[in-house]
Amino acid sequence: MDRSPDGPGPAVIAVAQVAITVGEPDANRKAAAAAVAQAVQAGARLVVLPELCDSGYVFADTDPAAEARGLAAPADGNVTLGQWRSLAAAHDLVIVGGFCELGADGRLYNSAAVVDASGTRAVYRKAHLWDKEKLVFTPGDAPPPVVDTELGRVAVMVCYDLEFPEWVRLAALDGADLIAAPVNWPAANWPAASWPAGERPAEVIKAQAAAATSGVFVAVADRCGVERGVSWISGSLIVGPDGYPLAGPVLADQPAVLTAVCELPRARDKKLAGDNDLLGDRRPELYK
Amino acid sequence: MDRSPDGPGPAVIAVAQVAITVGEPDANRKAAAAAVAQAVQAGARLVVLPELCDSGYVFADTDPAAEARGLAAPADGNVTLGQWRSLAAAHDLVIVGGFCELGADGRLYNSAAVVDASGTRAVYRKAHLWDKEKLVFTPGDAPPPVVDTELGRVAVMVCYDLEFPEWVRLAALDGADLIAAPVNWPAANWPAASWPAGERPAEVIKAQAAAATSGVFVAVADRCGVERGVSWISGSLIVGPDGYPLAGPVLADQPAVLTAVCELPRARDKKLAGDNDLLGDRRPELYK
């Protein structure tokens, strides 16, 4: 475990479940700022916000790409990222959140940024696009970045990405202590839940397994607020490296800020009971 | 979906949680036969038995390899596999179970076999060894076999293997409809459970995520019966391709036979809601 005695200690991690409205970026930024303020009140040093939390998600069926393009902006000089930087500087925070990016290549990306007081530390473009996103966005082709922060090493991926164990493993092998995942988890039916009574949604199960399988913290910020008839699981949660929730899942269509005290570098110890190691016991030569 | 109109239809799948005693292969075979008989009574066409269900698991600390060697036998002419073949022939079954194998190379393997009326269809050697197994067994170096049976395509892996998503994915990409997993899931504490109140053990969560992530059925046969001070999660379960349990988890230290009606070829449809496909949406070129 490469954790120095003066390494990062315990810190409050927050995930913000925010009500978002497509096409209302000012209102959405205001809602995000309010959620960040609430997290700060609870002592948070890192806040995760949902996927596409500036633009909204359910673009108009008639021409979704056109509506998305009207709401997209480059990462450089981005109003949303500027807001996050101001909040990060004012409160000594790391903020991870999703935004609708207009690339320098003229293409649209479903992106997420890691921002701290020093500015934008990383921009990640979602690599596994969901359903109609394929009509709007270009998939990213870079692995999830792992950013060394004051709290520990923070990786970011977006929504459906988290359901690909190959992607989670890449982040873990690259040294992530925490995977921060802005998501918009659509619910199949409304108002009825799409998962069996007494069960957690499969998305939550996969997030728990992602944590336990690689021994990392996972922080998922989902959204709420029915948008053009689409509802959400609203399953924001924080999972410990053993796979058990430290906070959430919320599973209610309402704004929420969840917090948990996490010592992120604890995730560097991959030992299990006995002579076992979550990463060391892999047989990569056989994974062909 | 490559499922012919006259392809396999629904069938009863069973997992047998059996009480096993190290060093008592005759008694263990008798217990396994009784569990198979119970499954047959319930209409089962496929029965999964636990890991190392002939030899037992907790070999003596003084010289575990020597005790295991005294209990191991080659796959050819194996008494345990012969019993399974007789049962399979008598009741038109597929049986998947773990046994202690003496290889032709003189080494010991923690193996599992797929047996039907025609004989031994596959022998698989556990590739991810747990804890002190490393003192006894040689790890296998072949991927999980996928056996085309009358019920559908059955893959087999053993216990800790199932916790490596790379391994599960290999089986799914090779066409598995069902992953049959003989396990011995040790519990960290006894009699207190080692998982938080209200939660399922991480092993169960990982089995559920394995199913949901690749859209396959997963059938886990755990064991019961405290052995030399080691207790077991006894978490036998059958999971559907959506990740939700069809039967179990048992989570009680007692013999149990669980059944579920499963149409295995249904697992060949990897479509999710919308324009999504569990395997087709992978980005293998990025998984380096």
Using one digit for the tens of pLDDT, what is the confidence trace for A229-239? 999 999 999 99
Q: How far is residue A34's CA from residue A52's CA, in Å, rounded to a whole number? A: 17
Q: Is residue A2 part of a domain?
A: no
Half-sphere exposure of B48 (CA within 13 A, CB side): 32
Q: Is B232 on the interface with A (CB under 8 A)?
A: no
The whole-number average pLDDT for the span A135-158 is: 98
Mean per-residue pLDDT over chain A, rounded = 95
- Count Cβ atoms within 10 A of the Cβ of residue B225 and give its class: 0-12 exposed, 13-18 middle, 19 or more buried: buried
More confident residue, A12 or B8: A12
| A213/B143 Cβ within 8 A | no
Active-site residue B206, yes or no?
Answer: no
- Give φ, ψ of A253 to 5 degrees: -80, 70
Q: Give residue B194's identity as a one-letter amino acid code.
A: S
Q: Is residue B1 part of a domain?
A: no
Answer yes or no: are the C-beta atoms of B87 and B95 closer than 8 Å: yes
Closest-approach residue (CA) in chain B for A280: B128
Q: Is residue A244 part of a domain?
A: yes
**DSSP H/E element including A170:** helix A165-173
Is residue A254 predicted with pLDDT exceeding 70? yes
Q: Is residue B236 part of a domain?
A: yes
Distance to chain A for B139, nearest Cα, Å: 10
Q: Is residue B281 part of a domain?
A: yes
Indicate the pLDDT class of residue B8, thresholds 50, 70 and 90. Answer: confident
Give pLDDT, residue B193.
55
Percent of chain B with pLDDT over 90: 92
Is residue A77 predicted with pLDDT exceeding 50? yes
State which residues form the domain around A32: 11-286
- Count Cβ atoms within 10 A of the Cβ of residue B21 and give its class: 0-12 exposed, 13-18 middle, 19 or more buried: middle
Q: Is residue A138 part of a domain?
A: yes
| B274/A131 Cβ within 8 A | yes
Neighboring chain A residues of B273 at a CB cutoff of 8 Å: 131, 186, 188
Is residue B103 predicted with pLDDT exceeding 80? yes
Is residue B17 predicted with pLDDT exceeding 60? yes
Indicate the pLDDT class of residue B213, thresholds 50, 70 and 90. Answer: very high
Is residue A189 predicted with pLDDT exceeding 60? no
Is residue B236 predicted with pLDDT exceeding 60? yes
Residue-wise pLDDT for B118-169, tens only, equals 999 999 999 999 999 999 999 999 999 999 999 999 999 999 999 999 999 9
Indicate the pLDDT class of residue B194, thresholds 50, 70 and 90. Answer: confident
Indicate the pLDDT class of residue A218, thresholds 50, 70 and 90. Answer: very high
The whole-number average pLDDT for the span A261-285 is: 94
Is residue B202 predicted with pLDDT exceeding 90? yes
More confident residue, A188 or A220: A220
Neighboring chain A residues of B168 at a CB cutoff of 8 Å: 165
Active-site residue B270, yes or no?
Answer: no
Indicate the pLDDT class of residue A63, thresholds 50, 70 and 90. Answer: very high
Give pLDDT, residue A193.
56
Give pLDDT, residue A288.
84
Give pLDDT, residue B275.
86
To test the contact with chain A by mutation, choose from B58, B128, B135, B276 the residue with the greatest count of A C-beta atoms within 10 A, namely B276
The candidate with the shortest Cα–Cα distance to A132, out of B270, B273, B284, B280, is B273
Q: Is residue B101 part of a domain?
A: yes
- Distance, first Cα to last Cα, chain A: 29
Indicate the pLDDT class of residue B191, thresholds 50, 70 and 90. Answer: very low
Active-site residue A132, yes or no?
Answer: no
The whole-number average pLDDT for the span A7-27 is: 95
Q: How far is residue B79's CA from residue B56's CA, in Å, rounded to a whole number? A: 15
Residue by residue, DSSP assigns A69-133 as HHH-B-STT-HHHHHHHHHHHHHT-EEEEEEEEE-TTS-EEEEEEEEETTEEEEEEE-SS--GGG
Cβ neighbours around A249 below 10 Å, total: 24
The candidate with the shortest Cα–Cα distance to B8, out of B163, B127, B177, B137, is B177
Question: Cα B103 to the chain's mean position, in Å?
Answer: 20
Give pLDDT, residue A58.
97
Q: Is residue B6 part of a domain?
A: no
The whole-number average pLDDT for the span A239-259 is: 97
**DSSP H/E element including A30:** helix A25-41
Q: What predicted TM-score, i.e. pTM, was given to this entire model?
A: 0.97
Residue-wise pLDDT for B57-98, tens only, equals 999 999 999 999 999 999 999 999 999 999 999 999 999 999
Give pLDDT, residue A273.
76
Residue-wise pLDDT for B35-54, tens only, equals 999 999 999 999 999 999 99
Q: Specify the CATH number for the domain of residue A68.
A: 3.60.110.10
CA distances from A256 to A70, A105, A148, A235, B288 (A): 29, 36, 27, 10, 37
Indicate the pLDDT class of residue B272, thresholds 50, 70 and 90. Answer: confident
Largest CA distance in chain B: 58
Q: How far is residue A37's CA from residue A92's CA, in Å, rounded to a whole number? A: 12
Q: Which residue is associated with the tokens 């950013």?
A: A147
Closest-approach residue (CA) in chain A for B165: A165
Beta strand A178-182 with A146-149 is: unpaired
Distance to chain B for A243, nearest Cα, Å: 6
Is residue B186 predicted with pLDDT exceeding 70? yes
Query: Is residue B190 classed as helix, strand or coil in its secondary structure?
Result: coil
Interface of A with B in 15-44 (CB under 8 A): none
Closest-approach residue (CA) in chain B for A281: B128
Overall domain count for chain B: 1
Residue-wise pLDDT for A79-99, tens only, equals 999 999 999 999 999 999 999
Residue-wise pLDDT for A101-132, tens only, equals 999 999 999 999 999 999 999 999 999 999 99
Give pLDDT, residue B6.
58
The whole-number average pLDDT for the span A216-223 is: 98
